[in-house]
Amino acid sequence: MSQQPSPSVLPRYASFAIAIPLFRVFDYSIDINQPVQPGIRYRLPFGHGSKVGVLLSTSQTTTFSAAKVKPALEALDRSPVLSEHILELARWIADYYLQPPGEVLFQCLPRYLRSAQQQKPVRVKVWFAEHLDIEARDAIERRSPRQHELLSAIEASSGLNAAQLKAINPNWHGVVLALESKQAIRWQWQKPGSADELLQPAPELNSQQAQVVEAMLEKSTGFSVQLLDGITGSGKTEVYFRLVENQLARNRQVIYLVPEIGLTSQLVERVKARFGFRFTMSHSGLTDVQRYQAWEQFRQGDVDIMLGTRSSLFSETERLGLIIIDEEHDSSYKQEDGIRYHARDVAIKRAQMLDIPIVLGSATPSLESLNNGEREHYALYRLTQRPTAYPPPRIQLIDTRNIKLDTGCSPQLIQKIHQHLKAKGQVLLYLNRRGFAPVVMCHECSWQSHCERCDSRLTMHQSLHRLLCHHCGYAQPIPPACPACGHNDIKHYGIGTEQLEQRLEQIFTGVPVIRIDRDSISGRDEFAARLQTLNKGEPCVLIGTQMIAKGHDYPAITLSAILDADQALFSASYRATEHLVQTVFQVSGRSGRGQQPGEALVQTGFSEHPLMQSLTRQSYREISEAILKERRLLGFPPHVRVVMFRADALSLELALDKLDEIRSKLTVIANQSGINCIGPIPALMTRRIGRYRAQLCLISDDFRKLRRSLSEAMPAIENIPSTHSVKWMIDVDAHDL
222 burial class (0-12, 13-18, 19+ CB within 10 angstroms)? exposed
pLDDT of residue 522: 67
pLDDT score of 284 more than 90: no
Note the pLDDT tens digit of each residue in 287-331. 888 899 899 999 988 899 999 999 999 999 999 999 999 999 999
536 burial class (0-12, 13-18, 19+ CB within 10 angstroms)? exposed
Under the phi-then-psi rule, with left for phi > 0, alpha for psi from -120 to 50, and beta for the rest, what region is 80?
Answer: beta
pLDDT of residue 5: 41
Span 384-390, average pLDDT: 82
pLDDT of residue 95: 93
**Alpha-carbon distances, residue 435 vs 8, 189, 475, 645 (angstroms):** 68, 46, 13, 33
Least confident range of 131-140, 234-243, 607-616: 131-140
Span 478-496, average pLDDT: 89
pLDDT score of 603 more than 80: yes
Span 427-456, average pLDDT: 92
Phi, psi values for residue 106, rounded to 5° = -70, -20
One domain, residues 264 and 310: yes
Span 479-506, average pLDDT: 91
pLDDT score of 9 more than 50: no
Instruction: Indicate the helix (H) or strand (E) that contains 601.
Output: strand 599-604
Contact between 577 and 586 (Cβ < 8 Å) = no
pLDDT of residue 140: 87
Note the pLDDT tens digit of each residue in 687-737. 999 999 999 999 998 888 888 888 888 888 888 888 889 999 999 999 887
Domain boundary among 634, 650, 666: 634
Is residue 602 domain-resident? Answer: yes
Closest among 566, 581, 663, 661 to 621, alpha carbons compared: 581
pLDDT of residue 554: 83
Domain boundary among 493, 515, 531: 493
d(CA 254, CA 241): 11
pTM for the structure as a whole: 0.87
One domain, residues 417 and 334: no
Is residue 390 domain-resident? Answer: no
Closest among 287, 275, 207 to 243, alpha carbons compared: 275
Is residue 717 domain-resident? Answer: yes
Contact between 510 and 418 (Cβ < 8 Å) = no
pLDDT of residue 6: 46
User: Which pLDDT band holds residue 195 (cuts at 50, 70, 90)?
Assistant: very low
The total of other beta-carbon atoms located within 10 Å of residue 708's CB is 14
One domain, residues 541 and 626: yes
Least confident range of 190-194, 217-221, 519-523, 593-597: 190-194
Q: In CATH, what number is assigned to the domain containing residue 709?
A: 3.30.70.360
pLDDT of residue 722: 84
d(CA 680, CA 696): 5
One domain, residues 424 and 443: no
One domain, residues 172 and 45: no
pLDDT of residue 488: 86
Is residue 452 domain-resident? Answer: yes
Question: Which residue has better confidence, 729 or 571?
Answer: 729
One domain, residues 687 and 602: no
Give the torsion through C-alpha atoms of 425, 431, 435, 439, to 10 deg: -140
User: Which pLDDT band holds residue 394 (cuts at 50, 70, 90)?
Assistant: very high
Q: In CATH, what number is assigned to the domain containing residue 558?
A: 3.40.50.300
100, amino acid identity: P
pLDDT score of 668 more than 70: no
**How much of the chain is in helix, strand and coil states, percent to nearest 5?**
35, 25, 40
pLDDT of residue 679: 86
pLDDT of residue 380: 95
One domain, residues 265 and 368: yes
Is residue 178 domain-resident? Answer: yes
pLDDT of residue 1: 40
User: Which pLDDT band holds residue 145 (cuts at 50, 70, 90)?
Assistant: confident
Span 54-83, average pLDDT: 86
d(CA 49, CA 415): 68
Pairing relation of β-strands 49-59 and 12-18? antiparallel
d(CA 373, CA 638): 12
Span 505-518, average pLDDT: 91
One domain, residues 225 and 329: yes
Which of 276-280, 498-502, 589-593 is modeled with the greatest confidence? 498-502
Closest among 85, 71, 56 to 11, alpha carbons compared: 71
Mean pLDDT of all residues belonging to the chain: 88
Closest among 502, 501, 447, 450 to 471, alpha carbons compared: 450
Span 226-249, average pLDDT: 94
User: Which pLDDT band holds residue 10 (cuts at 50, 70, 90)?
Assistant: very low
One domain, residues 91 and 214: no
d(CA 42, CA 717): 30
pLDDT of residue 214: 95
Is residue 197 domain-resident? Answer: no
One domain, residues 553 and 628: yes
Is residue 198 domain-resident? Answer: no
Span 595-601, average pLDDT: 91
Domain enclosing residue 526, as ranges: 395-434+496-634
Note the pLDDT tens digit of each residue in 609-664. 999 999 999 999 999 999 999 999 988 999 999 999 999 999 999 999 999 999 98
Share of the chain above pLDDT 90, in %: 54
Peptide bond into 512 cis (omega under 30): no
One domain, residues 346 and 215: yes
**Alpha-carbon distances, residue 6 vs 10, 33, 65, 179, 375 (angstroms):** 7, 16, 21, 66, 59
Is residue 201 domain-resident? Answer: no
One domain, residues 513 and 608: yes
The total of structural domains in the chain comes to: 6
Domain boundary among 634, 662, 678: 634
